[in-house]
Amino acid sequence: MGRRWIWVHVAAVVGTLAIAPSLVTAGSAKRVVSINLCADQLLVLLADPDVLRSVTFLSARPSQSYVADRVDSIPVNHGEAEEILAMQPDLVVAGRFAARPAVRMLARLGVPVLDLPIPNTFEEIRRQITLLSDSLGVQAKGAAMIKKMNRQLAAVDVPPGPAPRALVLGVRGFTSGPGSLVHEVLTAAGLHNVAGDLGIGGFGRVDLEEIIAVDPDVIVLNQLADGAPSLAEKVLEHPALRHFDGKIIRMNPTLWTCGGPYTVQAVEFLAKAVR
């Protein structure tokens, strides 16, 4: 009975949305719903409170979201088409690799959907901020955000001398090479990402033997200092690495899992940590 009522309600809502324009003109979005964690964070920073009608449930998790302390009053969703339709949005912001069944249904029903790719550079972050601020009609706010980000990047105090050789370790030994935002951050902080030396582009897994062979100056654990134990940290307990004499740095993953103006903080943190 509950499921039948949901779809009857959806059908009624669809009747309303079907006559809506298929595109949203600049500044016209007044009822925005996000169904992607990375979109959540940019929208929380950019949108007026009465415009952002819903974000994903993931945005409230401090281990995953930079804006976890700012979403208490915003309704959450689980990326299901029926719950999104019931909110009657005039713009849904999604990610290229999340909630695809919902995105396809929404698009078929004429609901404007903005698909954001994963940014791998600061320039791509700037473009996303500009795109969203244009859609929301908050161009001045977006421009100020970009200006501040540029100023912070320019002020990063990169360590002098040869670039320290760094390797990022995540869950199950995954790392990031050239073509990723993590690589962009390492480079901006004055570090050399040795994942590229191992032939890893984008994302890949690094074995214990490869870590030993590449012998980095710095190992960056992609986890909070007070986070749960991970297999990335477990690797360091292996006898072969127990006496690693380089630096071990723990990075807050929310700073670079999703690209945003806050990602500059990851650059600032690393540049300072390796001095």
Please state the pTM of the whole predicted model: 0.85
Q: What is the pLDDT of residues 37-63, one digit of tens each?
A: 999 999 999 999 899 999 999 999 998
Fold of 165-273: Rossmann fold (3.40.50)
Task: Please tell me the distance from the alpha carbon of residue 227 to that of residue 221, in angstroms, as a whole number.
Answer: 11
Q: What is the pLDDT of residues 208-261, one digit of tens each?
A: 889 988 999 999 988 765 555 555 566 666 777 777 889 989 999 999 999 999
Burial of 178 (0-12, 13-18, 19+ CB in 10 A): middle
Tokens of 150: 């540029």
- At residue 159, the pLDDT reads 77
CATH 3.40.50.1980 location in the chain: 2-151, 165-273
Residue 98 CB neighbours (<10 A): 18
Question: What single letter denotes the amino acid at residue 264?
Answer: V
Closest among 195, 182, 143, 166 to 267, alpha carbons compared: 182
197-217 in b/e form (b: 16+ CB < 10 A) is ebebeeeeebeeebbeeeebb
Name 243's Cβ contacts closer than 8 Å, sequence gap at least 6: none
Fold of 2-151: Rossmann fold (3.40.50)
- Alpha helix positions (H), the chain: 2-17, 37-46, 81-86, 100-108, 122-136, 139-154, 181-188, 208-214, 231-235, 263-273
- At residue 33, the pLDDT reads 97
Q: What is the pLDDT of residues 138-191, one digit of tens each?
A: 999 999 999 999 999 999 999 788 999 999 998 878 899 999 999 999 999 999
pLDDT tier at 4, thresholds 50, 70, 90: very low
Q: What is the mean pLDDT of residues 196-206?
A: 93
Task: Please tell me the distance from the alpha carbon of residue 46 to that of residue 149, in angstroms, as a whole number.
Answer: 14
58 close to 79: Cβ distance less than 8 angstroms: no
Q: Which long-range contacts (CB under 8 A, 24 or more apart) does 265-270 make?
A: 266/185, 266/189, 267/152, 267/153, 267/156, 267/185, 267/188, 267/189, 268/152, 268/156, 268/189, 270/166, 270/185, 270/186, 270/189, 270/191, 270/220
